[in-house]
Chain A
Amino acid sequence: MDEALVRVLTPQVLAVLVRRGADFAAAEDAVQDALVEALRVWPADPPRDPKGWLVTVAWRRFLDATRADVARRRREDLVDEEPGPVPDVDDTLRLYFLCAHPSLTPSSAVALTLRAVGGLTTRQIARAYLVPEATMAQRISRAKRTVSGVRFDRPADVATVLRVLYLVFNEGYSGDVDLAAEAIRLTRQLAAVVDHPEVAGLLALMLLHHARRDARTASDGSLVTLADQDRGRWDTVMIAEGVVILQAALARDRLGEFQAQAAVAALHADAPRAEETDWVQIVEWYDELVRLTDSPVVRLNRVVAVGEADGPRAGLAALADLDPALPRYPAVAAYLHERDGDGTKAARLYAEAAGRAPTLAERDHLTRQAARLNARSGPT
């Protein structure tokens, strides 16, 4: 059986059953049964319409299971209705919103989305997150229990779905599943079924970041900052696609957080050399982002942009308004002091920043920065 086809079809068939009123967990069981049946029947007798075949078999399984289940008798009313045809796009969308339900914790929402919408196996998801398969299986089955019985009678919140997809994207990758690529694939699907400028904004943002991924780490795994990246290694086709999507979204004049972030990323991607970056425009986008999110992290990023646009003194002045307890605050302070010519202070701050770095790659990078300055200014 064609594995890629199954991965595409499974969520679609699941979505049809959920839309027809099947409980999420029961629907998944029925779809699994149908897949097992397909494995048996298809090699000898391939169907002309694989999706229709799977829907028919899965729905029959669901009816059988429901009728057999006395405790679930109340569903008899529901199964006796003959389901009428409904546009396909509606179904997949419903699955996105179900998986991003606000009653789920972020990690459960992510796991359920990868399983139900992405069609990944529990093992693949567990490997990607470096937890035991049994742990991930529990996360997913708890999530299924949480959303069981949730009905969709009111418009769901697109922002929640986008947040879940962005979490998947930022999780990086390990094992045999590239979660960033998976997030892009799912966001593309979402963009095809929902008309919302922020969906386009998120897709553009992911593409623009993903296009630079290869250049972001050196061959030894160490971090390469934006200014030092080999821009010849950026994926220009992906950048161009991201920019086109972003421009179409911006033209609709309904600005949101993801569009603004994508605009910043696009300005970086647009510069042939780091020195040619349009920092003045980047500061303007950060002003928009501060207005939209009021996030302290955004304010800190804005300080970096101000430092580039108006010089390190202006950056340090803007930094003075922020809380020193912010993550990466000492790293930004170190960078600005170095550019302002105070290597000693910068070295001390880089060392402090290394101690507070959230990732190993970042810690090593900051430690090297401190060492570089100490080697230059220290006694020989």
Chain B
Amino acid sequence: MAKYLLLKHYRGAPEAVNCVPMDQWTPEEISAHIRYMEDFADRLRETGEYVDSQALAPEGLFVRYDGEGRPPVTDGPFAETKDLIAGWMVIDVDTRDRAIELAGELSAAPGAGGKPIHEWLELRPFYGVPPTITE
């Protein structure tokens, strides 16, 4: 059993195949997209592979310490070129292959014209708990 993070990007990932921006979809297409992701999460709850998922607002900032007695420096809202995370899902699966299979399924969420977006999802394994057998 290993946990994986599925990262959905607003920007920063390679371009999706069906790359029409969401604000140019029809409301029905948007509903279908959201329903697809909810159904996906529900299926994983049933298989016992679901851990967590959250959507993130786009208005993120970079924040940095700027020296004693000074307020932190902020940078943002991000310029177009920067990476931007739209949300994540955490799954707990038996194998890496299963994680890839599920990420592929999530990437097939419908977009413009009801066709799959084929968006790129970033798949990151969590570091495991320290295994007992290390010697």
Report which A residues bind B (CB closer than 8 A): 105-108, 110-111, 129-132, 134-136, 138-140, 142, 169-172, 174, 180, 209-210, 213, 216-217, 223, 225-226, 265, 268, 357-363
Cα A226 to Cα B132 in complex, Å, equals 12
* Residue numbers in B under 8 Å from A171 (CB-CB): 1, 129
Closest to A361 in B: B130
Q: Do residues B131 and A138 form an inter-chain contact, with CB atoms below 8 A?
A: no
The 6 sampled A-B contact pairs (Cβ below 8 Å) are A106-B94, A171-B129, A174-B129, A216-B134, A225-B135, A360-B130
Given the contacts A132-B52, A171-B129, A359-B128, A142 and B47 also touching, CB distance less than 8 Å: yes
Q: Do residues A359 and B1 form an inter-chain contact, with CB atoms below 8 A?
A: no
Of the candidates B3, B51, B92, B132, which one forms a contact with A170 in the assembled complex, judged by CB atoms under 8 Å apart?
A: B132
Q: Can you list the 4 inter-chain pairs with the closest CB atoms, starting with the nearest?
A: A139-B48, A360-B127, A172-B129, A138-B48
Cα A132 to Cα B46 in complex, Å, equals 12
Cα A103 to Cα B1 in complex, Å, equals 17
B11 CB-CB contact with A under 8 Å: no
* Residue numbers in A under 8 Å from B46 (CB-CB): 138, 142
Cα A170 to Cα B88 in complex, Å, equals 28
Main secondary structure of the interface of B (DSSP, over half): loop
* Residue numbers in B under 8 Å from A360 (CB-CB): 127, 130
* Residue numbers in B under 8 Å from A223 (CB-CB): 130, 134
Q: Do residues A129 and B92 form an inter-chain contact, with CB atoms below 8 A?
A: yes
Q: Do residues B48 and A129 form an inter-chain contact, with CB atoms below 8 A?
A: no
* Residue numbers in B under 8 Å from A268 (CB-CB): 135
Q: Do residues A135 and B130 form an inter-chain contact, with CB atoms below 8 A?
A: no
Q: How far is the CB of B101 from chain A (nearest CB, A)?
A: 14
Of the candidates A107, A130, A135, A142, which one forms a contact with B94 in the assembled complex, judged by CB atoms under 8 Å apart?
A: A107
Beyond the given pairs A216-B134, A265-B135, 6 more chain A to chain B contacts, judged by CB atoms under 8 angstroms and listed by A's residue number, are: A110-B1, A130-B3, A131-B48, A135-B92, A170-B131, A225-B135
B57 CB-CB contact with A under 8 Å: no
Q: Do residues A132 and B128 form an inter-chain contact, with CB atoms below 8 A?
A: no
Q: Do residues B127 and A358 form an inter-chain contact, with CB atoms below 8 A?
A: yes
